Structure 1
Amino acid sequence: MAPIYFLLVDDLAENLLSLEALLRRDGLVLLKARSGEEALELLLVHDVALALLDVQMPGMDGFELAELMRGNDRTRRVPIIFVTAGSADSQRKFRGYETGAVDFIQKPIETDILRSKTNVFFELHRQQQQIAAQRDELEASAEALRHADRNKDQFLAVLAHELRNPLTPLRMGIDVLSGCPDPERAAQVRDMMDRQLNHLVRLVDDLLDVSRVSQGKITLQKAEVAASEVVQSAVELCRPLIDAGSHTLNVTLPSYPISIKADKTRIAQVIGNLLNNAAKYTPQNGVIALDVYREHDELVIVVSDNGIGIPAEMQSQIFQMFTQVEGHVHRAKGGLGIGLALVKQLVLMHEGSISVQSDGIDRGATFTVRLPAMPEEVRHAPSSDPHGENEPGRRLRILVVDDNADVAETVGWLLEDMGHDFLLVHDSRSALEAGREFRPDAVLLDIGMPYMDGHAVCRLFRQDDVLKDTVIVAQTGWGQETDRAATTDAGFDCHLVKPVGLPELKRVLDLVINEKA
């Protein structure tokens, strides 16, 4: 609950300190003022539950302060207890009550009397706070129910519309076939009816899936699967709708394998729903992008488009059941609008997350899915090698750290041909942890990387008790003398300038082998 404020007004500091000591309790904030002017300033800032006013003060006395409070809309309802020296005569009491006072307390103040009279106002204000909070909660619940009811009505209207769409050509197709059309026309009608029946089945499947997920009746068939396989399945499913809109689909996959433990069918369904949404809500000849990459221990799937966008106020509701963005129903090319609710539930079942970002109407939208990725594994070279580099004692463990996936992959191919084990890392922030787990004989380390450059990574390796003696080779596009001096200062053992050829790389690694021998 919010704090409760009492205002103490007395021109003597020692009286204020005495009142403060007597009234102090949890949840109560005591505001102190030594003049009427100072008290008015506090009253305009804080919601005061009770004011204790000294009657006799120089300048503005307690009665005058009370009269000013009664004349102000903000302070007129603040309860006032006057604190006065000695007994107050009837005339003074009459003036006090006329200004709105609820009580008088005489000095010297008796502790029990003070606490009993002020406790009433503390508890009253606390109850008012609780009632207000309950009222706000009830109003919020009522508004949520009204919102859900409106969404349900809109959903049922859309559902009726979407079911009638395929049913109409099915009904008419039956009528056409009953008239014994020629074989060519009959074949056209059957193809049309087959398409509409498939569309109807998909609508029903979406409804059943949402119901099963909501009731926890879907069991995931998880297995290790390559991200590229899941993406390929999703793109194949969505290609007809994307082509129908004459959209351009740009798919970017990492050049290195990423695996996840997931239900391949359901994750393909997640990506497919996002791609279908992008196709439906993007005008003809739009551009849709599907980007897949690894970030730390997560697989990141990003689907973006240059379509009709999502208003800022709707982005927090877009994954809720029955939610339709106003105006989007008529601009979409079919669908019930429950796909995103299903997508979110499936992602959560895979211990992942999904978010949306849009700059507003006609500014496109971007959906980002994050799923736990399986640890990067060491890839071993073939068991036989015509050059004999993989003989015992000549096989090294190489950690390659480069944010450019293509460069890292190419280096990996060379290392594989040379008979070495290797691990590729594309994020400088993960390099030290990967090194501790992999225990490499040598590190091929890029310099110009985001977040943390190669110099900083090298220094971290040199400070680590486990990795401090590892051979670290700078592999960079910077080749000036000053660049070589910088790598030496950072702790590198060697400096190779890109593009690094096989002879250079082999020469450096042979030195490592000889050093080990």
Structure 2
Amino acid sequence: MMHRLLSARIENDQALVRIRDRTRQVGDAFGLDNLQRTRLITAVSEVARNVVQHAGSGLIEFSFREEDEHAPQAIVATISDGGPGFDVAALPANGQRADGKVMLGISGSRRLVDHFDIVSAPGKGTRVTLEMHRSHAQPVISRNELAPLMEQLARRKTQTPVEELEQQNREMLLTLDELRLRQADLEKADERKDEFLAMLAHELRNPLSAIGTALELLKRKQNASEADVHRLADLVARQTAQLTRLVNDLLDVSRVSRGKIDLALAPVLLTDIIDHALETTHGAISARHHQLDYVAPAEEVWISADNIRFRQILSNLLHNAARYTPERGRITIRVRRDKANVAIDIEDNGIGIEADMLPRVFDLFMQADTGLARQDTGLGIGLTLVQRLLHLHGGNVTVHSAGLGKGSRFTVRVPELQREMSAPVITPAEPTASAAVAEPAAATAQGVRILLIDDNVDAVHTLRQLLEDVGHVVAEAHSGERGLAVAQLFAPNVVVIDIGLPGIDGFQVAQQIRAKQATAASLLVALSGYTSDTMRQRGRDAGFDQYLNKPVDIDALEAMIRALDVGGTDAPAMQPSVA
């Protein structure tokens, strides 16, 4: 919604002085910083000068736009005239001349503001709209606060030309100082990016090296014992999980930064999420022999959260506590009420954080120590992801540390649901891995017929063995065409389909399986390395019931299978041949 603030006539060069002053007053009143204010004043001045030169006179109107789902709060300046107009298509889109230099006037103003719009035609005048967005760091201006601000603007006097010139000089000096600071920040950010890329290579090579060595060792052992196989398999599983976590964190922070993550919010019991996060991080905590103290709330606490994403928030903080606390340390989790919020404190007695690092710990790629001797310090994206995911939940995270060697405390705050809840409402999105511990899979899912369609032969064989070990009847095919033929013979209850198949892709396979009477009711599960929202939507359109990321989460797949009601259907005596 737009709120009109003030307007002024543009008639001559003297009017330009008043308009610059009015623009400054509006920027001051509504919290623009020095650089934003200078950019808006310059853009308005350039467009207003065009009005005087080409149209003789015009009008400028300042408005305030409330925040909506598409854009933040903003100052809007609309400059219109009844002059000769021109062909808008002739304006350079990027505000630069052919020789690469920045243009002034209307084209140059486009580069100075957050949003620019122009409407003009020969003989029909011109209207230019300039927007400058208020920073997200600024508190939102409520409607109750608008009236006093508008009254303040109405009372303020305009400056004389001499006062305006002095003000411009002061602003120029302030802006230069700010530009120097921002240049220094950009240089530091560039250094952090280079350090991050080096550390990413290091963090990825470590587990890959361990996996490669384990496989080579297994290959060379002529008479490997069962204990050797189990030990090496455990090593490969741990390192694969580490690789998966690194890649997922990278993808997640990118999606959040681009606004590509949609939360499946539902009322959930906070203790359930904490239990699941503790289960996920148990290995990291026990490996370093830490003592864990969990002070659970005395009564039930409900929040509105995406189960998987909120567990990810807590798991990242717990992993950090375990990683940055020397062996046999202490980690404490406390849940308490904080006004309308619930607060979760995760505290450790680890290495602590220096005072000058505290304001920057949530910055992307920020790491306290970049020495080559450090061990398992991650990529500097986990805390950024925590902060941004909490923002999507309407919450926040803060950090406190008394200094190096004195531990750290991260506090997560999120709004508490006040209404009485009898049971959580679970959205039928992706099954959680923790659901797999409810009961043994074979107790309820024995005899379920599963078809695996994937051209990665090794992956299919290992997944088939895992599923057969818990009592399922499994068939496999290594192409889309062969998968369709096997599906007709096998009549599977569950079909797990890779998207990137040779020949016809997984989407086409799913559509054809869904169209056949014998397999129309089968549970179709996509298994793919393509994880974008667009691909997931294509999966839904093709008829998939679920979409799992590679590498497959066995517990999540088992949870889906257990949820099936196969009604005692007997598995067929024959099994189709492998493609």
When Rg is computed on C-alpha atoms for both structures, the one with the higher figure is 1
Q: TM-score, normalised by structure 1?
A: 0.49
